[in-house]
Structure 1
Amino acid sequence: MKRIHLFALLFLVSLFSIAPARGQVGVYANFSATTLNVPNETGWIYGPTFGIYDDRFHLPVVNFGVDARGEVLGSGGSEQVYGGLVGPRAVFHLPVLPLHPYAEVLGGAARVQVGQGSALRRGTFLNYSVLGGLDLTFFPRLDWRVIEYSYGGFPGLNQGTNQQTVSMGLVFRLPIP
């Protein structure tokens, strides 16, 4: 039992440490609201988006890396999207402010279900997403994902769907040198 207390104490000390640490890897969890823009559908579906990124290449104002994410979105009705995406990422570091705007271009696959009755369409389709967002550091290794907007689609779905998603959440940056 004492090991659990020691581990919890070490975790909290490292999380709220004021020592400068250069976080390159971050894990995040967002709450997402998305619309697939399919006629005669419910409109918005909701669920979590989660992932991990690694900003490996550092320049004075911008870092480059890769992001891998998953999404589990559904309305409780006929619209559902369960997918995974991966791709390059660029994050900008403003000199004085704790704000980190970022942009990504991702590709992957998703299990999609849209439509109703005879118009029901489901299957696994290629997926793409172009997104941008803003993170705000409020503890040394903890960021609030203030806003993230993504625009994407499913080229093989043949229904003209365009996925537009708005998200917010938390990011924990791991202290990896």
Structure 2
Amino acid sequence: MGYSPGVVVVVYLGFTLLIRRLPIKLRGLVFLLGLSLSTAAAHAQIGIYGKLDTLRFDDNANKNTTWLYGPGVGVYDDFLHFGPLRAGVDLRGDFLYGSDQKRFRSILGGVRVAVKPPLLPFKPYVQGSIGAGGVKNTSYLTANRYSTKFEYQVAGGVDTTILPRIDWRAIEVGYGRMPGVGSGPGTPNSSMLTISTGIVFRLPWLPLL
């Protein structure tokens, strides 16, 4: 349902009076903020990606290392643009399998910053994420569920355009940590080093309905 012309006029006049009561410097800041937000909304960029991960999982509590492999999926939205800089959010999930019957899954969300150099086909990025990660060792008779705990990760990579709206995620390297697989306050944290590659599908911008 749309707004009546009277409501629009009242809101416009009220906003105009409010702006006029501000100091001149603050008026300029309000104008620049509004311009930045409108520009950011008009240039939002959503990407959906799939990737293949290689993860080194260091179980420091039990002093062993496991290599795991498998797919991951995710989506990002770079909704803020400042010159060549892009900033937004990222949500991802991983489903990995190890050679010693260990399984690992995680879901992470966080913020990302990317750089799109003019006239160049590649875009480096960095991001920080938090979420939950779970480990399960299927060789244990009682291991019928994941041991899910808090996880955080920092990552960086490079996307390269290969076709219109399709990027090759040439490489991503991430490092994360989570509480140890064992229990107790003195259990050492587990650490994870991830190397990934994948494909990104950049969606065309669509106005919100």
TM-score (norm 2): 0.67
Distance 1:143 1:32, change over 3 A: same
Cα-to-partner distance string for 1:41-97 (whole Å, 9 max, x where unaligned) = 463110011100000101111110000000001115332211100000101001121
Residue pair 2:57, 2:65 contacting (<8 A) in 1 also: no
Question: In the alignment, which of 156, 159, 162 is matched to residue 135 of structure 1?
Answer: 159
The structure 1 residue matched to 2:202, chosen from 164, 173, 177, is 173
Q: How many residues align structurally? A: 155
* Higher-helix-fraction structure: 2
Structure 1 runs not aligned, ≥5 long: 1-21
Q: Is the 8 A contact 2:58 2:65 kept in 1?
A: no
The residue aligned with 1:83 is 106
Partner of 1:46: 69
Does the 8 Å CA contact 2:44/2:77 hold for their aligned counterparts? no
Aligned counterparts of 2:194 and 2:69: Cα–Cα separation in 1: 9
Q: Which runs of 5+ in 2 are unaligned?
A: 1-42, 182-186
* 1:141-173 Cα deviation digits (max 9, x unpaired): 000000000000113543432110000000000
Residue 69 of structure 1 corresponds to which residue in structure 2? 92
The structure with the largest alpha-carbon Rg is 2
Correspondent of 1:107 among 121, 126, 130: 130
Q: Whose strand proportion is higher, 1 or 2?
A: 1
Structure 1 residue 29 displacement after superposition = 0.3
Aligned equivalent of 2:48: 27
Q: Which amino acid aligns with 1:142?
A: I
Give 1:40 shift: 6.1
Q: How big is the shift at 1:113?
A: 2.7
Q: Is 2:186 the counterpart of 1:160? A: no
- Larger mean CA deviation between 29-38 and 76-85 belongs to 76-85
Tell me, in whole angstroms, the C-alpha distance in 2 between the residues paired with 1:97 and 1:23: 20
Percent identity, aligned pairs only? 37
- Equivalent position amino acid for 1:33 in 2: T
Aligned partner of 1:150 in structure 2 is 174
| Larger RCO (CA within 8 A; separation ≥ 6) | 1
Matches of 1:56 and 1:131, distance apart in 2: 19
Matches of 2:74 and 2:137 in 1, distance apart? 24
**CA distance in structure 1 between the aligned counterparts of 2:138 and 2:70, rounded to whole angstroms:** 19
Distance 1:79 1:26 in 2: 31
* Deviation (angstroms), 1:176: 1.0
Pair 1:37 & 2:51 matched: no
Letter of the 2:103 counterpart: Q
Distance 2:65 2:111 in 1: 32
Output the TM-score relative to the length of structure 1: 0.79
Shift of 1:111: 1.6
Q: Tell me the SS of whatever aligns to 1:36.
A: strand
Aligned CA RMSD, in angstroms, stands at: 2.5
